[in-house]
Amino acid sequence: MTESVSERATGPVAPQPPPVQTAKGANEKYCFECGSIIDARAEICPKCGVRQLPVPPAMGFFQGRNRIVAALFAIFLGGLGIHKFYLGHVGQGIIYILFVWTGIPILIGFIEGLVYLTMNDDAFNAKYGHHWV
């Protein structure tokens, strides 16, 4: 039986795994646990099975709603439903405009403004959401 010099010195040589890809593409990301390159939309790494955390976007790249701005719109322009348009509820904003002559939207807008002011940011974002772009 013929053995190479390297096999005699270290024993049988184990098969080598394929080389790991080191440069990721535009639609890829690194797994937080094992570091392998996976699809950017993957929620679970197919290699190690670890759930991936969402990647926070760079500063300034979000389309969000500010709680204080919504509250000020509701308090001062609530009768016209401006706060509803600001929060993306266009249908409700139109209803406010249609019924502004009754005075009811003014009262409701004022109350909603106070509610927005008393909410914490986490509760406001959970309800009215920050949509990351």
Task: Tell whether the model's pLDDT for residue 42 goes beyond 60.
Answer: yes
Structural tokens at position 34: 């094992």
* Between 22 and 4, the higher pLDDT residue: 22
What are the beta bridge partners of residue 131? 63
**Nearest in space to 73 (alpha carbons), one of 117, 121, 103, 118:** 117
3 state SS for 82-99:
HHHHHCCCHHHHHHHHHC
Q: What is the pLDDT of residues 91-102, one digit of tens each?
A: 999 999 999 999
**Where does the pLDDT of residue 5 fall: very low under 50, low under 70, confident under 90, or very high at 90 and above?**
low
